[in-house]
């Protein structure tokens, strides 16, 4: 069957169309993406502005049309932290579902971590042993650990790259005091919120997924001639200082860094380094599968049951 996975995220509205069958690897066919950056439309009262809602409807209408043009059998639509945390999120979801005739669901942080972990487990297989997974999105950080397909522990924190950039970083290049304050803020949050079961994870395999980590791994390969399938914490520490001292324009000229990603890659690097340091992880392996693949795999499992 052909499934359309519509991801209403903090950075992008992304439709990925996949051919998927029980027992087979999901095969991407086409995708449609709009860089909306919903976090920029969150006002001080915690609601998404009228302009943001308008642009969101336009992006979803175009994504649904793309799915229909490509003979999609079903659209699996979900929203993550930007809509999840907005005070008017439920009313926005209701209006979207009525207007576009889809079933957009808000994922909790725990659900997001669990579905991403499922994708990571299926990618690496049982031989990888106990996994510890890290995922930095636009609005939140997810951590999960376990030996089965479902993690034994998950944590979702509002430490996404877009959110932190909006709330803490200013200037071009960024103000060094802001950068240091953000580093302390992230570490303090992790030290306070990490449960003991994740601190003493005793994992065999450390994995990172999604765009922020993939971009950082590619930059590590560019600057340190490292394998872009991996990301070392020592390289990450050096990269964080280097990226923080660059202008938006200079960062946007780096390989794999889009103009929109250039603004938030510093915050992403700070979160990545902080969580690896706090959890005493020297190196992570980059997984090409993430939340969207996890949503497809969960749907196929449900259809088989």
End-to-end CA distance of the chain: 16
Confidence label for 44 from pLDDT (cuts 50, 70 and 90): confident
Task: Give the pLDDT score at 303.
Answer: 82
Separation of alpha carbons 297 and 189, rounded Å: 32
Confidence label for 155 from pLDDT (cuts 50, 70 and 90): very high
Q: How far is CA 143 from CA 116, 120, 146, 169, 251, in A?
A: 10, 12, 11, 24, 27
Separation of alpha carbons 69 and 158, rounded Å: 36
The lowest-confidence range among 20-24, 49-53, 192-196, 267-271 is 20-24
Separation of alpha carbons 279 and 255, rounded Å: 29
How high is the mean pLDDT of the chain? 95
| pTM of the model as a whole | 0.95
Task: Give the pLDDT score at 232.
Answer: 97
Domain range summary for the chain, segments of one domain joined by +: 2-106, 110-287
Task: Give the pLDDT score at 206.
Answer: 98
Task: Give the pLDDT score at 46.
Answer: 92
Assign domain 110-287 one CATH number from 3.30.420.150, 3.30.70.3460, 3.20.20.140, 3.40.1360.10.
3.30.420.150
Whether 305 shows a pLDDT value over 80: the answer reads no
Separation of alpha carbons 93 and 87, rounded Å: 12
Please state which CATH number belongs to domain 2-106. Answer: 3.30.420.40
Confidence label for 259 from pLDDT (cuts 50, 70 and 90): confident
Note whether 73 and 1 are within 8 A (CB). Answer: yes
Looking at per-residue confidence, does 16 or 39 come out higher? 16
Strands (E), the chain: 2-8, 12-19, 27-35, 74-79, 105-106, 131-136, 141-146, 153-157, 205-209, 230-232, 283-287
* Tens-place pLDDT, residues 92-145: 999 999 999 999 999 999 999 999 999 999 999 999 999 999 999 999 999 999
* Tens-place pLDDT, residues 283-297: 999 999 999 999 999
Phi first, then psi: give them for residue 146, nearest 5 degrees.
170, 170
Supply the Cα-derived Rg of the chain in whole angstroms. Answer: 19
Task: Give the pLDDT score at 187.
Answer: 98
* Tens-place pLDDT, residues 199-231: 988 999 999 999 999 999 999 999 999 999 999
Task: Give the pLDDT score at 286.
Answer: 98
Is the torsion defined by CA of 74, 122, 16, 36 positive or negative?
positive
């Amino acid at each position: 069957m052909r499934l359309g996975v519509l991801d209403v995220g903090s950075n992008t509205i992304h439709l990925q169309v996949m051919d998927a069958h029980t027992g087979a690897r999901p095969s991407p066919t086409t995708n449609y993406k709009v860089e909306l950056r919903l976090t920029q439309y969150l006002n001080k009262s915690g609601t998404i502005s009228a302009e943001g809602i308008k642009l969101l409807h336009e992006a979803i209408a175009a994504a649904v049309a793309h799915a229909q043009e490509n003979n999609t059998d079903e659209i699996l639509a979900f929203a993550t932290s930007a809509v999840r945390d907005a005070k008017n999120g439920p009313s926005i979801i209701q209006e979207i579902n009525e207007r576009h005739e889809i079933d957009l669901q808000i994922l909790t942080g725990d659900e997001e971590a669990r579905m991403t972990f499922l994708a990571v487990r299926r990618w690496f297989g049982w031989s990888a042993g106990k996994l510890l997974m890290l995922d930095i999105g636009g609005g939140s950080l997810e951590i999960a650990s376990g030996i089965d397909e479902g993690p034994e522990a998950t944590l979702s924190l509002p430490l996404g790259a877009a959110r932190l950039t909006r709330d803490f970083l200013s200037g071009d290049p960024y103000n060094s005091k802001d950068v240091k304050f953000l580093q302390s803020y992230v570490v303090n949050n992790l030290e306070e919120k990490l449960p003991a079961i994740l601190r003493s994870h005793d994992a065999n395999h450390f994995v990172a997924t999604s765009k922020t980590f993939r971009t950082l791994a590619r930059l590590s390969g560019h600057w340190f001639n490292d394998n872009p399938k991996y990301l070392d914490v020592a390289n990450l520490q050096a990269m964080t200082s280097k990226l923080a001292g660059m202008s938006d324009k200079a960062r946007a000229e780096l390989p794999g860094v889009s103009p929109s990603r250039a603004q938030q890659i510093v915050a992403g690097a700070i979160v990545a380094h902080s969580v690896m340091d706090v959890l005493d992880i020297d190196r992570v392996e980059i997984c090409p599968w993430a939340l969207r693949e996890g949503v497809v795999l969960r749907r196929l499992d449900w259809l088989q049951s």
